[in-house]
Structure 1
């Protein structure tokens, strides 16, 4: 989806203190073998700080940085991949209330690790589809937020999946039809539905696992999926399809953004192990690991749907991305869904001084 006319005016992040891999190994939470194999550095751990509270803090920072009035937001999109609070309750209204953001449309997005990409795509469509400016003459604005706290009894952040440890955190982006420090050039998602069993395994659909106390174990589910796919001969074809679709989504997103791979300054992938980032992303694109955000991502863990936006904030805040640079954001989520976005930095943001 080409998103000409959509700008990023503000960005906010909340990251709690990290627990190092060395400490996790010492406490028996993580194995020495995995520490050596995956080269991860640690995970951000929020303790008992609720995910919506982290999201609220990130949202406030994003709004303050661009001096955006919450009352002038047109839509709030809240992406998450883990439980947020009481059953039957939705977290986006917590932010809407505490930001004093009025009666705008507020929606929760449950699209796993790719939820922020979905928020970007939906926000852009909402802002552009509604026309610019708004009927009262002002720019149209959207707030996209993602937050997760994985420190719950039904999940072990250190062992739930191979190749990463789960970190807690939140991010927020203020998108607008008014100019900002960056521009969202394009965003796209596509799915390999044949791989939906990869994150389901042999677990029954009813009753839902959490309602009967089943913990989340993607490692076990992936093993079950591989066993089935080997038996019916579908496994290799599905993996090839995922790889091919990844390249296609990147190619089409770059084309819609009007740039080539040579124009990409940095790549923000998921905060996974070195071998996953290198083999599934950087080497697949023909780019060096030095262009990735792995060195930072390895220190905070996989932050659900927040990885890429948190990396964007880090790159801009440290000056690693400057005016004229392009960031390619790429993610893979249950589905299997492949998502990609291209962001162009236009100026040094005012909050950097």
Structure 2
């Protein structure tokens, strides 16, 4: 889908302290072999702040950087993959009340690790329909996995879960990057890989069992060994085709892409699923950042984009490909053009509002 006059006006992130993977091995949390295979050096871990408060801190930075007043915002979209607070409660309105404090709509966009990209598409469509030059949308995303109910170090061989918060301000007026095009594609036959043999209803006790993607996948490995069907497809080829289509829609090509922002997966899965199908080297992506933070679920994309922009690794005129996938299986990508340096933005407070 092609977009005109949709911009990213502000970005903010919250990353807590990191724990080295070497220390995690010494403590018995992480297997030595798994650490060596992952390529990870450290993972972000938040001890006390709830996910929604990390989102609030990131949002305040993004709004400050955007130069938009609270009255400009049409609404707030919040994304997450894990627990945000009491069942039936609205984390989006909590974030709204602690940031814009405006009587606008606030709701959640649930789409796994692609939640922020799904929110970006929704915001872009809403702003396009509204047409107001100063209109803006506030996007937030956050997860805190620091609980015994999550196997941070062991839930998947593809990643280690990191705690974080992030925010984007999407604007009609202008900003530091322009959204050129984006697209989503799914392979629904693969959804069973993350369902395993868990019942869909009634819920098991406790209601929130330990998050264990690897255990669910193992149940399917057993079925495959017994001759069951394999819910697999050439997902890498599907991602590559989606990227090619989105680049064509944006009127560009892969050789014009300066950098790629992607999921914070471990080294091998990152290469196999995202970089290799496109013929890209890890140096074109954000691996050097991700190996020191882990997989920040919904916030990987904002964290990677902010890092490249604030450190001057992308400058006006550069094009950035944002690329990732989530359970389902579904992939998404977006093409951005950097249009301003940090010092050109209306406000640029120092990073680290925490």
Compute the TM-score of the two structures, normalised by the length of structure 1. 0.94
Q: Secondary structure at the match of 2:232?
A: helix
Shift of 1:229: 4.5
**Unpaired runs of 5+ in structure 2?**
350-354
Match of 1:6 in 2: 6
Match runs of 1:170-319 below 5 Å:
170-209=165-204, 211-229=206-224, 231=226, 234-235=229-230, 238-240=232-234, 242-319=235-312
Note if 1:337 corresponds to 2:339. no
> How many angstroms apart in 2 are the aligned matches of 1:160 and 1:72?
41
Deviations 1:158-185, CA, capped at 9 Å, x for gaps: 1111121100001100011111111011
Shift of 1:249: 1.3
Match of 2:352 in 1: none
Q: Secondary structure at the match of 1:152?
A: coil
Aligned-CA RMSD value: 1.6
Alpha-carbon distance change, 211 to 266 in structure 1, aligned in 2, over 3 angstroms: same
> How many angstroms apart in 2 are the aligned matches of 1:248 and 1:39?
28
Match of 2:93 in 1: 93
Contact 1:265 1:291 in 2 (8 A): yes
**Unpaired runs of 5+ in structure 1?**
none
Alpha-carbon distance change, 71 to 129 in structure 1, aligned in 2, over 3 angstroms: same
> How many angstroms apart in 2 are the aligned matches of 1:195 and 1:28?
33
Contact 2:79 2:140 in 1 (8 A): yes
Which runs of at least 4 in structure 1 moved beyond 6 Å after TM superposition? none
Match of 1:73 in 2: 73
> How many angstroms apart in 1 are the aligned matches of 2:315 and 2:259?
11
> How many angstroms apart in 2 are the aligned matches of 1:150 and 1:72?
33
Deviations 1:83-139, CA, capped at 9 Å, x for gaps: 001111121101111124311111101111110110011001111022x22xxxx52
Q: Secondary structure at the match of 1:74?
A: strand
Alpha-carbon distance change, 153 to 74 in structure 1, aligned in 2, over 3 angstroms: same
Note if 1:156 corresponds to 2:137. no
- Tell me the number of residue pairs that the alignment of Structure 1 and Structure 2 aligns: 346
> How many angstroms apart in 2 are the aligned matches of 1:105 and 1:168?
26
Contact 1:40 1:164 in 2 (8 A): no
Shift of 1:209: 4.3
Deviations 1:129-151, CA, capped at 9 Å, x for gaps: 22x22xxxx52101111100011
Contact 1:120 1:187 in 2 (8 A): no
Alpha-carbon distance change, 209 to 267 in structure 1, aligned in 2, over 3 angstroms: farther
Alpha-carbon distance change, 232 to 339 in structure 1, aligned in 2, over 3 angstroms: farther
> How many angstroms apart in 2 are the aligned matches of 1:178 and 1:83?
34
- Report the structure, 1 or 2, having the larger helix content: 1
Alpha-carbon distance change, 143 to 213 in structure 1, aligned in 2, over 3 angstroms: closer
Match of 1:51 in 2: 51
Shift of 1:352: 5.5
Compute the TM-score of the two structures, normalised by the length of structure 2. 0.94
Shift of 1:211: 4.1
Deviations 1:276-300, CA, capped at 9 Å, x for gaps: 1122221210111110101101111
